[in-house]
Structure 1
Amino acid sequence: MARPHVFFDITIGGKTSGRIVMELYSDIVPKTAENFRALCTGEKGVGKSGKPLHYKGCGFHRIIPNFMIQGGDFTRGNGTGGESNYGKKFPDKNFKERHTGPGILSMANAGPNTNRAQEELTVLTEDRMAGRQARDVRTCHRVVKNIELQGSQSGKPSKECVIADCEQL
């Protein structure tokens, strides 16, 4: 079975930046991939938080150059929230895929078995993100780089970076 592909259309400072296309490793981390795919389509409706289970309109709240871009907190927008399609949190599955370079997509979490909706895109070139569930960003490294340029060492973005639209391809 083919792995699903999803996209984020990104705006930076209110201006269109481009599209990021991601391949989800549904054969390796099926529950994680399905959670991410459904959050891209919004097909699960409204979550327990009362917010849509959808990345559309969600910002990237933490951007650290040469390390990572983090977003997906559609409940609070600041990294303290998020909700999965399975309720609040769901367990880790495996860590077979390594972060071998820029463009690897992972679930951000607060420790073992605390996955929700937040995701991280790596922008580094070494494997500093070992122990994360990985998926691959296949195209538009330019867009990822443009988001990274809005970051700071504290992680606070200089411009608002938003998922203007998202869906499964």
Structure 2
Amino acid sequence: PAASPAAAAGCWATPPTMTSGYMQWDTAPQMVIDPAKVYTATVATNRGDIVIQLNAAAAPATVNNFVCLARAGYYDVTIFHRIIQGFMIQGGDPTGTGTGGPGYQFNDELPQGETPYLRGTIAMANSGPNTNGSQFFIVHQDQPVEFPKNYSIFGQVTSGIEVLDTLTTVPVADIGRGEVSSPQVTVGIKTITIAEQ
């Protein structure tokens, strides 16, 4: 997608470079959100809209990153590349491979409490400690208390949970390492728009 520098004003000191058609930055965005405000993300998918209230008070850097990427158009016309019914749907990689990201990583803001990964929770996907980039997942069903608290939670679905249910029912195939999670039909994100109050 084309960059939207006006919408993402202040997020980065320098414009993104384009690598294989995807926006890349050298550093995580500067803090531009106000953690005291309420931010809402509307994820428009090809199956309907999912509305998420972002928790800037609990995860300010994570919400700031998501807001900046969304405003830059980074998530526009991407897919949910990993879907596991009863667990989650994962997106945020413009390459659609599960290996893509924005060119930088930033630190975790890990959750507290016994059962944080509840139905409708949105959290950052990662490949280890402090490797957050652009990929995120939305929890389909409550996860057990022993589920590792290794993923930064930054919001909760407030509307469109039935869309999440629909997305998790698409046919999936083995991705080659014993995990049946590769969607066999396109499950797409059209846009993610941010509102603040």
User: If the length of structure 2 is used for normalisation, what is the TM-score?
Assistant: 0.71
Q: In the alignment, what sits opposite 1:144?
A: 164
Q: Post-superposition shift, 1:73? A: 0.5
Q: In the alignment, what sits opposite 1:154?
A: 180
Across the two proteins, how many residue pairs are aligned to each other? Answer: 150
Bigger radius of gyration = 2
Pick one of 120, 135, 153 that aligns with 1:118. 135
CA contact (8 A) 1:107 1:119 kept: yes
> Identity percentage over the alignment?
29
CA contact (8 A) 2:82 2:182 kept: yes
Pick one of 86, 91, 99 that aligns with 1:66. 86
Q: In the alignment, what sits opposite 1:6?
A: 41
CA contact (8 A) 1:65 1:151 kept: no
SS at match of 1:90: coil
Change (3 A) 1:129 1:5: farther
Q: In the alignment, what sits opposite 1:45?
A: none
User: If the length of structure 1 is used for normalisation, what is the TM-score?
Assistant: 0.82
CA contact (8 A) 1:90 1:113 kept: yes
Query: Could you tell me how far apart the structure 1 residues matched to 2:54 and 2:171 are?
Result: 25
CA RMSD of aligned residues (A): 1.7
Query: Could you tell me how far apart the structure 2 residues matched to 1:57 and 1:117 are?
Result: 14
Q: Post-superposition shift, 1:125? A: 2.0
Pick one of 146, 150, 171 that aligns with 1:131. 150
Deviations 1:48-86 (A, max 9, x none): xxxxx6111110000011111001001x21101111xxx
Q: Return 5+ residue gaps in structure 1 as ranges.
A: 12-16, 43-52
Q: In the alignment, what sits opposite 1:108?
A: 125
Q: Return 5+ residue gaps in structure 2 as ranges.
A: 1-35, 173-178
